[in-house]
Structure 1
Amino acid sequence: MNRLHTLLYILVSTIILAQESNSVSILRMQSLDVEALIVEDQNAPPGIPERFAYGFDVNIDLLNQGNLTIDENGNKIWRLSIKSENAIGMKVHFNEFYIPNESFIRIYSNGQMSDVRTFEDNHESETYENMLLKGDLLSIEYFESKNSNRSGKIKISKVYHAYKDVFGFYNQGSNDRGYCSYNVACDQSNTGGSWEDPINSVLYMEAGGGICSAALINNTSGDLKPYVLTANHCISSNPYEAGDAQLGYFNYRLYFNHQSSSCSGSGGNYSQYIQGATVVAAYGYSDFALLELNQQPPSWWNAYYAGWNRYASSPTLGAGIHHPSGYPKEINYDNDQPSSTSWFGGGSTHWEFYWDDGGTAGGSSGSPLFDSNKRIVGQLHGGTGGDCGGIDIYGKISASWNGGGASTSRLKDWLDPLDSGVYTLSGTYTGTPPVEITSPLSGDEWQAGDTYQITWDESLSGNVSLTLYKAGVNVQTIASSVSINNRSYTWNIDSGLEQSDLYKIKIQSLSYDYNDFTAYFSIVEPPTITLLSPILGDGVQVGLPNQITWTSNFDDNISLKLYKGNNVSTGFVSTITSSVPASNGSYTWTPSSSLEERDDYKIKATRISNSSTYDYSSFFSVLQSIPVELSINSVVVTQAGGVIYINMVNDEPVSGYEFNIKDSPDYLEIVGVQDLISSGFEISYSEVDNGNESGQGQVLGYTFSTPIEPSEHLLLGVQFESVNNGQEVEICLEDSDVSDSIGNSLFTQIGPCVTTLLVPTILPGDVTLDGSVNVADVVLLVAGILDNQELSASAISAGDVNFDASLNVSDVILIVNIILDN
């Protein structure tokens, strides 16, 4: 039967039980002299837990002493009530407790509170202790199904009569508590900032008929095992012995966040608790007990696993946090160093000091003492701390570390399961592995051939190894031994490592059985940089800005340096820039006028963080001036094709030129060349098959007589026919060779490519460029032919109606015919 079915079964059965009219046996506890008990508590020696309930020793067998009825279905019901006159609350300890399948037990009080348990609540110890229920009459009903696979066990060995209202049944608290300590919601600390984390570690502990304080405590494995530190006398009536059979697994109920929600508040919280704990170690001389809860507290309780300090030297104190007389959590402050003492005489098992600000009371026993670094250094044994500025004595963590020499009487085995030897450990909410790699992180991309920092956090000592894995397979040892306290290692990644996103790094302690792996990260191609410009044959002019461009696959900075000649060790000229982000991809450089003219300069780009990543440009020239510049001035598109106008600026006489025109895609075919300056050059053109999708046409011009004198000229009109009209095409000048009158090559700077749309932009005959053809176009064309009017390139293109690369009377006649619609 699953949990839901069981609860529904209980609900129906409870209704049936409530309708039964059978009489119920009532066992009455003897009358208690509460005033005498309170006096006894007030006179109790230090080191005794705060008592809130008197425990009657009994021997009650519900199956023999309860009233038995059998319902019409054959199910058995036993009932029994226990009365303890004037009790604030009651509970019982079952020394034999087993609920078979399809059965349940309900414990309730005349204060209208109940506790229901089923088969799922059985424990291997076959014991149980119900929660304290308000009122002085406790009733027990046990329903055993006829389908149960075995008989139940319901025996009671102790009945508790609460005579102090430590759970706020009738009194929800008062702002005037009578103690010198502070409500933790106020946290008036001026000794190291907020104590929120340690506050979240402190617990209110119910143990049988007593109450104490305790703290959730961290261990070196970082596994969030729910260890709780408290005082040995809180679990034992005899401080010389570790543990006591009087208190068992279910005697312990630990309350989390029993504290006020505001500084002015007085009520606490009893809803977040865990019942059931095992004493794993205890030692009377330093008065410690370490419990392990039966489960981790839920994350939404925000429970903090406090750190600890086991140094034997006197620490600088910070605060004590506790539940005086069961009140909501309070805090004391101190910034002194305690002195060593002992509780039983001889040795130095305890810390002793007077509080600067605050005090303790019954119920504070077992509460943690924190140093100024917010780490536990001891747990409260006793003292006179209830008085403002009173003295308190805490069992030392350092004395309890080795305690009585066995795992059951010392802290070492539990708080340092890795045997790390650390003396301090920080607290945590989420678990802190003793060694945890912090880089590389998941998804990181590290480049082969580059240098990176592997980093980690640690709480161990000694050395570690670092190993690289790919897809779970050991690839190489990164470092065989490095001090763990370095917290980092510089790794030069082998440039030959295969690219993959399945790499992990393992860090392994060489002294302890502990390791950690990173998440998956990637090793990608080595860092590279490629200089794109200047390219071979380029020339740069001094005093004018030039663009150095590159591509790279890294983000840090590079330097740019100028060299000359073939020997880089002796050819350094100057630093162009000492640092520029590689991601920029370009840098504007203005060459100094002091540079000598030569054609064997080159630029080196070097990654600053790793000089093994670099690239050189091709050789280029530095010139005081550029002798020749060739560029595309414009492209005019007509119905049949169009004209590419070539511009030339020359500082030297030119007697010959040669260049290619590349169109990409190959949409154009050169059909003619017009000499726009009447140079008298022999000019030819041809198509060049370059074997790819782009086309090339070659233009050649030369003279053996008069050269083109220095000037700026609209040199040529290169006529073309086109296919795929309406498409875009890129036109570039390439592979130029310009010479002077004696055949010497002149350095030539080529202008940028031009992209144009193959859509007619000029109407044939529209010399005035006004969008129509009329007599005004005839008049302007005649003026241009007679040299009475200088025409623009577009006007010349519009006037050359017959596309013979010249303006003449034939064009005039054709325009007249256009006007006459002939």
Structure 2
Amino acid sequence: MHETILFGLKGFDKIFRLRKPSGEIFIIFFDFPPNEKCSCNNAVKNGHIMKIKNGPFKQCILVGLIALTSTSQSFGQVITRVLSPEDEIENYIPWYNSDEEIPIINAPFVDVEAVLQADQQTGREMPRIGIKQEVNYTMEDGQLIERENYSLWSLTLRSVNAKSMSVRFDGSNLPEDAVMFLFNKESRFIVGPIKNSNFRNGTFRSDYLNGDRVNISLFIPGIEASEIVSVNLTSFDHGIISFRVFDDDFEDSEPCNVNVTCEQGVGWECQSESVCKIIHSSIGSCTGSLVNNDCCDLTPFVLTADHCIADFPVDDYLYRFNYQSPQCEPNGETSPSQWITYYGSDITAGWVGTDFGLVELFDRPTSGMSFAGWDRTNQTPPNSTFIHHPSGDVKKVTFDSGVSTPAGNFYDFNLTPGVNGDFGTLEGGSSGCPKYNPDQRIIGQQSGGVPQTILCTTTNSANEDGRFDISWEGNGTPDSRLRDWLGASTNPNTMDCMEHPFVEGPGTLCSGPETYALINNMPCTKSITWRVEPTNLFTSPVSGTGDIAVITGSLINSGSATLIYTLSAEGCNDTEVEYDLFVGRPCTFELHSFPTEICIGEQGETFLNLFEDCLGNYSSIEWDFYGAISGYGYDNKGRYTGITTGYGYVCVTVTNDCGSKEVCDRILVKDCGGGFGFRNSRSNPDVAELEANISPNPANDFVEVVYSGYVSGARITASLISADGKLVETIEEYSHSFKVDMAELPSGLYILQLNVEGMVLYEKIVKL
């Protein structure tokens, strides 16, 4: 089904954005003659590129292939990306304009040497990665650009000599559909999307971005939405280290450490997905792991070391999950890195006696993570495995082939990398990491004792881990033991690792029915019910029991929906697993075009906000420009130019598995007396002074085009366009003069678009 909100003639410039199920995106440019219709169905079948027949003036050019990770995210989690040199910021920030000048605020100077000297004098033990600085910047300090149906607010905060930066917002409020990104163009770090749901009581803290500045870009939909926005930047961390994600060894851990993506990590995937890097300027970095409890209720308990959390503001901590190398042995040109960061936690329990600490994240994790199992019996393991972030590095796996020695509340053990099967070592930053027995259950957490001068060639005999079995009863109170939090219901001796449950089924539901299945490996018995919201998007049934849900979409309504599974057990809190889907074809979305009034020869820009719910798991985007404008579209963006007086139309058709929706913006083109001129220059000095003379004009049979300033051998592409935006003819020449045949054309106004090595010139031609 296809709906047109504003009908008009189809133009000749089209672009399709084709998403394969694997997540790859093909961007294909097409030029079509005015009398030929092209549909995405001719280009895509079952998510794959199909052969497209060529005709007159038709071209099919594959211009790009990029990998894109799903932009969907749950409450609380925020994605940090590091782009490869081939990737572009605009692939992630729909409204990004590289030419836009963002106001820069220089923060007060940070005297790093003075702070480090003070740390030494006070005997600070935990390594520092940043220095917190209080500031007070608001919306008034940035740049607010208000347009017809949206606003953009931006600001750049710079701290001289910072190697990385993290920013904090307090007392802030974003509209429900507003989207924020933080980025650094030089280091190619991007944090986001950040929405109102990521703020906790108006507070949000970002992950660290490499570089001495953070660009803040906020998209605010709606005409008056900017009036209810409040952004207060209250502090930042001046980073004294950078996060090297494209180096061979990433950061500074010892070379004998082994990436979890190597063969030594095979079979430990569930355990690895539970491990996180803990970051704060007060502690540097530690390691922690999500741990399961006897209710399997997905409570986000993170086990770490007490010395990593005691007397520190854990509500300001950052927890990085999936911070690991995508390759076993990166060569310095690894694929773009991406990880998920959670902000803030509460201390649940801790005890210096075993140096254990247990915190609960403010926000619940989603699928793609896991909850580690544990063993509270006092059986000494014959060998041990550790998964950790040594020196804050990407995730590593270490193995000790020897028997650990119980020593009171701790295990003592030796590590000799390369001897008796041992590999890897433990360093600063490994504190709090899980110690696993051969059954892949946690029996302790790394406490310390490793000297800073340790090398891969050294026998490490000073290692000690706090014993999980002793921590179970701890110091006898709920805030000093694990039992009340991990075993309050049945007090089991062991728990196994558990992947976060997830739902399998189509992301787009047409009329249906379609089958959805809850994939659940919980080591706990649960009764399961399900329901869908909102119910008006579905026909009955809208609820049921069991892990299989068969649902049918409405034939009338469309929009975003959620399938919710509820898992229950006696004596335990209910647990919900949600799956977002889209019902029906795309609903009415916003097209953001600016300006909507232009002069002949002037340009405007248009884009789709890819985070808008109504786009409906789209598979393709098709652009059309007609009437008094000509233009082109690329992915979710487009540009248009006024070519004659009157109204022009920018139209975009978004298609998903259920159908299409077309939305158009009307553009008024006025004659302001300026005419056409050079635009889109590539700053080529050889063609900078290029001019064209058209004669005769008006014309009966032909016009002759003569260039002055033409460089011999330069390619000229001439497009003759009728007043209603249709492409009449395309000519390619390599000479300073050529003729355009007008004899068979009807009388009227025509536009000749001339492109010479990236320089574009428009000329009016009147046919008598």
Could you state the TM-score of these two structures normalised by the residue count of structure 2?
0.46
Which of the two has higher C-alpha Rg? 1
Whose relative contact order is higher, 1 or 2, with alpha carbons under 8 Å and at least 6 apart?
2
